[in-house]
Amino acid sequence: MRERKKIFRGDRLREMRRKRQLTQDELAERLGFGQSQMNKYENGKSDPTPEVLVRLARELEVTTDWLLGLVDDPTSHLQERDLTAMERKLLSAFRRGDFKELVRIAVDHSVASS
């Protein structure tokens, strides 16, 4: 029988838990299970259910994709390619610190939507 490939990254769970200055016991209590289960997740002895994975991600303010090792940025909820043209314009103006342009875009959009 083939061994199942692990995709959950317990090391990332441990990293973010420590970054949030939580003990295994504290995080486990917040999520409604015991410290020993948290230890199993972090050490790769057990994978969380999809429901627990989502709860872990929410509690640690990261994406499930990051906990699974699918992306490198723990908080990358949106990719720029997923933004509309207007959202890209707003983001670009914001990154440049061009707040007059931000207001202009918002006003133009507001007028066009009326």
Looking at residues 6-34, what average pLDDT do you find?
93
Phi, psi of 93 (to 5 degrees): -65, -40
Nearest C-alpha neighbor of 12 from the set 80, 77, 55, 60: 60
| pLDDT class of 41 with cuts at 50, 70, 90 | very high
What does the DSSP assignment read for 49-99? PHHHHHHHHHHHT--HHHHTTS-S-TT----GGGS-HHHHHHHHHHHHT-H
Nearest Cα residue to 7 out of 70, 76, 74, 63: 70
Query: 28 pLDDT band (50/70/90 cuts)?
Result: very high
62-112 tens-digit pLDDT = 889 889 988 888 877 655 666 778 878 887 877 788 888 888 888 887 777
Which domains are seen in the chain, by residue range?
10-67 (1.10.260.40), 80-113 (no CATH)
What digits encode the pLDDT tens for the residues 16-27?
A: 999 999 999 999
Q: d(Cα 44, Cα 28) in Å, to the nearest integer?
A: 16
